[in-house]
């Protein structure tokens, strides 16, 4: 069942036509080429290359502080209840802004100048939506045009690909079955059995990737930190004809017999394990006809004894042919994944020059805070990536890779492990307590293997940069003019990984995440699968879907209890900075600058143990998206604060992209929860960002300059 609500449809068509004429006149390009060069934002990441770059510069260092709210759009009524986890990034084409919102993942069309609602569309999916592993409004949608026909494509919570007429919001009757392709059809368990079309574990919260006449769709399942079975749904990436919905090709991320990589699943374990989906954004080189797939972990995230071997294509960047889906090359970032280092960011396509040699490159930000850089045609690393020995664990039945890949350039741009030197040291007393907290935790370098949790012994392996560290799903941005990647990274995301035998009936996985005999089950509440964005907060009990949480949820294993203490009197276990923004030059493979991002959290600023101390700006933990313009890097705070400089809220900040100096900030009522985008209409530049969290429900806010400031 679906519902589309129209509002001034004729006005939409007239507006589209008027802006279309203006666009053609200014750009000299045909109508089927929307682009950031025209002041538009036609893709989730701005363009197919994943750059999040716009050449607009009306908003700059001299006037960013003068931004004011141009319009705002609350998503409360786009579903059965308000949504408190709005992660969308809108598109803007021909004067119309398209985005998703609300608990039903409704699609809306808004006037880009005013935020006026033009139409809305919802699918009422019943039990199918309730069982969805990726709920709420997701991260957005996609646009396609051939110059006459205009379509919006998105994936529902129930894992259906829907094609809408961009002018009216009506489903396209000739696409699939009455405008819908059921993406659960063809998804199987290890045994080859089709998953249940209502309750089967498959979904997606990212956007489809549309290129030429092809729409490419990834897949995600429930978080596999602790799931009921390792024999769950297998990841696939599929391509469909954008006009008809006919499937063009499918790529199996867990190779079947006869497919490349199947031999890396020893003991026939490919047949009894799942996940390895592509749940984040997919990027495409349209000219080369190459698609870049960032693949997540196989089941389960922290124990791989049921799947001995390196397990391709788990945690691999895979390049496939756009026309056929055939593998061209791959690089496995982690062999035999057991840390949840799953690839979470959109690959970035960059044309760079290294030692006088022009290279068509692909750069992959990561939770590890490594930026992996390859020749995107051949797959060869631009700089050497060494295989180095890593520690071997002692969990019974586990299979360990003796080595892991380490890039030699660029250097890591955030913490990758916890050492004694990283522990909090504001005062001797806090330092002493931190040392006491880690006595029953196994510290070690990157790739510190999960520990068998034993009461009275080691409770967990202490890691940082695993589940929610480094650069997570919001990804990074790239400036094609200076060949610089800008990456925000969480720098304090402590994750203790302890494994225990599960209680009867809990899971068929031999060892599951837990400490001191208590297993950990990932919540299956609203927006399930994206809770690793907010650190240093206690996990709240499971609430009714869509209910406002008491506080942002952390990376799953970070919760206190079971003898594991990752906070010191409510302060982070490690020193600041807690979150950083970095600039990495791809011609040189060097870190150009790095600054803390975000205000010092209130819990630190106002802590009684720190009274009288001069604490430099710490930045904030958590993951937020960013964009880059001709002169600025723009991103918001992941937490709210109250400071002498501003009332309670979060700041949208601008940094000079050449130096990292903050050059302006404006107040937002809640943390940034979706990635920002920018566009220009009738000579005026706008910045739109989604905010939500805590008791503040989802809202899109558009900022622009006052009419007398340019």
Does 138 reside within a domain?
yes
Residue 538: pLDDT band (50, 70, 90) is very low
Euclidean distance between CA atoms 370 and 366, whole angstroms: 6
Residue 224: pLDDT band (50, 70, 90) is low
- What region, left, alpha or beta, does residue 377 occupy, with left being phi > 0 and alpha being psi -120 to 50 degrees? alpha
Q: Does residue 202 carry a pLDDT above 50?
A: yes
Q: Does residue 590 carry a pLDDT above 60?
A: yes
Q: Does residue 708 carry a pLDDT above 90?
A: no
Euclidean distance between CA atoms 334 and 337, whole angstroms: 6
For residue 449, CA distances in Å to 225, 315, 340, 387 come to: 15, 16, 11, 17
| Pairwise pLDDT comparison (446 vs 546), residue with the higher score | 446
Residue 533: pLDDT band (50, 70, 90) is very low
What is residue 370's predicted lDDT score, i.e. its pLDDT? 98
Cis omega before residue 410 (within 30°)? yes
- Tell me how many domains the chain contains: 1
pLDDT digits (tens, 9 = 90+) for 144-199: 999 999 999 999 999 999 999 999 999 999 999 999 999 999 999 877 899 999 99
Q: Do 390 and 403 meet the contact criterion of CB atoms below 8 Å apart?
A: yes
What is residue 225's predicted lDDT score, i.e. its pLDDT? 75
Mean of pLDDT values over 90-106: 97
Euclidean distance between CA atoms 413 and 492, whole angstroms: 13
Q: Does residue 381 carry a pLDDT above 80?
A: yes
pLDDT digits (tens, 9 = 90+) for 388-402: 999 999 999 999 999
- CA 382, distance to chain mean position in Å, is 25
What is residue 5's predicted lDDT score, i.e. its pLDDT? 58
Q: Which helix (H) or strand (E) holds 463?
A: strand 460-464
What is residue 563's predicted lDDT score, i.e. its pLDDT? 80
Q: Of 469, 487, 493, 465, which Cα lies nearest the Cα of 626?
A: 487
Q: Say what the pTM is.
A: 0.92
For residue 493, CA distances in Å to 417, 556, 673 come to: 10, 11, 18
Residue 23: pLDDT band (50, 70, 90) is very low
**Cβ atoms within 10 A of the Cβ of 509, count?**
24
Q: Does residue 25 carry a pLDDT above 70?
A: no
**Mean pLDDT of all residues in the chain?**
90
Name which of 387-396, 536-545, 610-619 the model is least confident about.
536-545
CATH of the domain at 335: 2.140.10.10
Residue 8: pLDDT band (50, 70, 90) is very low
Q: Does residue 530 carry a pLDDT above 90?
A: no
Euclidean distance between CA atoms 677 and 477, whole angstroms: 12
HSE-CB at 255 with a 13 A cutoff on CA atoms is: 21
Residue 531: pLDDT band (50, 70, 90) is very low
Residue 3: pLDDT band (50, 70, 90) is low
Pairing of strands 494-500, 451-452: parallel
What is residue 515's predicted lDDT score, i.e. its pLDDT? 84
Mean of pLDDT values over 337-351: 97
The percent of residues in the chain predicted with pLDDT above 90, rounded, is 84
Residues 660-681: b if buried by 16+ CB within 10 A, e if exposed: bebbbbbebbbbbbbbbbbbbb
DSSP 97-146: EEEEETTTTEEEEEETTT--EEEEEEE--THHHHT-SS-TT-S--EEEES
Q: Do 557 and 467 meet the contact criterion of CB atoms below 8 Å apart?
A: yes
**Cβ atoms within 10 A of the Cβ of 539, count?**
20
Give the structural domain span for 313.
Answer: 2-704
What is residue 16's predicted lDDT score, i.e. its pLDDT? 39
Euclidean distance between CA atoms 51 and 359, whole angstroms: 17
Residue 537: pLDDT band (50, 70, 90) is very low
Mean of pLDDT values over 340-357: 97
Does 78 reside within a domain?
yes
DSSP state at residue 288: T
Q: Does residue 27 carry a pLDDT above 90?
A: no
Euclidean distance between CA atoms 83 and 23, whole angstroms: 35
Q: Do 685 and 667 meet the contact criterion of CB atoms below 8 Å apart?
A: no
3-state secondary structure 620-677: CCCCCCEEECCCEEEEECCCCEEECCEEEEEEEEEEECCCCCEEEEEEECCCECCCCE
pLDDT digits (tens, 9 = 90+) for 226-264: 788 999 899 999 999 999 999 999 999 999 999 999 999
Phi, psi of 288 (to 5 degrees): -80, -15
């Amino acid at each position: 069942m679906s519902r589309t609500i129209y509002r001034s449809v004729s006005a939409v068509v007239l507006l589209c036509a008027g802006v279309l004429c203006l666009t053609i006149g200014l750009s000299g390009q045909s109508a089927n080429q929307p682009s950031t060069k025209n002041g538009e934002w036609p893709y989730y990441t701005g363009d197919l290359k994943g750059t999040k770059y716009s050449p607009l510069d009306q908003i700059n260092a001299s006037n960013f502080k003068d931004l004011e709210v141009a319009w705002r759009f609350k998503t409360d009524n786009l579903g059965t209840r308000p949504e408190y986890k709005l992660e969308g990034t809108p598109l803007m084409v021909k004067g119309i802004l398209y985005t998703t919102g609300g608990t039903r993942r409704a699609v809306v069309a808004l006037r880009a100048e005013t935020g006026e609602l033009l139409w809305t569309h919802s699918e009422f999916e019943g039990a199918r939506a309730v069982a969805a592993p990726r709920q709420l409004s997701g991260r957005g949608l996609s646009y396609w045009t051939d110059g006459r026909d205009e379509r919006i494509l998105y994936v529902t919570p129930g894992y259906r690909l829907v094609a809408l007429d961009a002018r009216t919001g009506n489903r396209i009757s000739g696409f699939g079955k009455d405008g819908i392709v059921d993406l659960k059809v063809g998804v199987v368990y290890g045994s080859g059995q089709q998953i249940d079309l209502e309750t089967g574990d498959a979904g997606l919260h990212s956007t489809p990737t549309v290129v030429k006449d092809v729409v490419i769709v990834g897949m995600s399942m429930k978080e596999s930190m602790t799931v009921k079975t390792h024999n769950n749904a297998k990841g696939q990436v599929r391509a469909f004809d954008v006009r008809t919905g006919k499937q063009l090709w499918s790529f199996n991320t867990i190779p079947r017999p006869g497919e490349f990589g199947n031999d890396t699943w020893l003991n026939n374990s490919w047949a009894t394990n799942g996940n390895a989906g592509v749940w984040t954004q997919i990027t495409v080189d349209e000219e080369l006809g190459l698609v870049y797939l960032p693949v997540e972990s196989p089941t389960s995230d922290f124990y791989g004894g049921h799947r001995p071997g390196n397990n391709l294509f788990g945690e691999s960047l895979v390049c496939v042919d756009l026309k056929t889906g055939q593998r061209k090359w791959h690089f496995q970032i982690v062999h035999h994944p057991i840390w949840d280092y799953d690839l979470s960011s959109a690959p970035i396509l960059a044309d760079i020059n290294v030692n006088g040699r022009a290279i068509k490159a692909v750069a992959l930000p990561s939770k590890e805070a490594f930026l992996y850089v390859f020749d995107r045609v051949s797959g060869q690393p631009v700089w050497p990536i060494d295989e180095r020995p890593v520690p071997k664990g002692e969990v019974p039945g586990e299979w360990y890779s003796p080595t892991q890949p380490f890039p030699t350039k660029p250097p890591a741009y955030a913490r990758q492990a916890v050492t004694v030197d990283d522990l909090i040291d504001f005062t001797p007393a806090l330092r002493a307590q931190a040392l006491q907290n880690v006595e029953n935790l196994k510290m070690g370098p990157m790739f510190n293997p999960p520990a068998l949790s034993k009461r009275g012994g080691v409770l967990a392996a202490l890691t940082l940069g695993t589940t929610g560290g480094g650069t997570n799903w919001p990804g990074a941005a790239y400036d094609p003019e200076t060949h610089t990647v800008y990456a925000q990274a969480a720098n304090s995301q402590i994750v203790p990984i302890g494994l225990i035998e599960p209680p009867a009936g809990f899971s068929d996985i031999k060892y599951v995440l837990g400490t001191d005999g208590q297993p950990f089950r990932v919540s299956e509440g609203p927006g399930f699968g994206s809770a690793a964005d907010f650190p240093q907060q206690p996990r709240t009990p499971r609430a009714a879907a869509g209910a406002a949480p008491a506080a942002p949820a952390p990376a799953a294993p970070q919760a206190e209890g079971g003898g594991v203490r990752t906070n010191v009197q409510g302060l982070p276990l490690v020193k600041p900075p807690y979150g950083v923004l970095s600039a990495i030059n791809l011609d040189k493979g060097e870190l150009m600058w790095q600054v803390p991002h975000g205000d010092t959290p209130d819990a630190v600023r106002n802590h009684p143990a720190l009274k009288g101390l001069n604490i430099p700006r710490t930045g904030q933990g958590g993951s937020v998206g960013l964009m880059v313009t001709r002169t600025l890097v723009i991103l918001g705070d992941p937490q709210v604060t109250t400071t002498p400089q501003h009332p309670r809220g979060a700041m949208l900040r601008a940094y000079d992209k050449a130096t990292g100096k903050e050059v302006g900030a404006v107040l937002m009522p809640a943390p940034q929860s979706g990635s920002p985008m920018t566009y220009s209409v009738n000579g005026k530049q706008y910045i739109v960002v989604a905010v939500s969290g805590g008791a503040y429900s989802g809202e899109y806010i558009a900022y622009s300059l006052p009419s007398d400031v340019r």
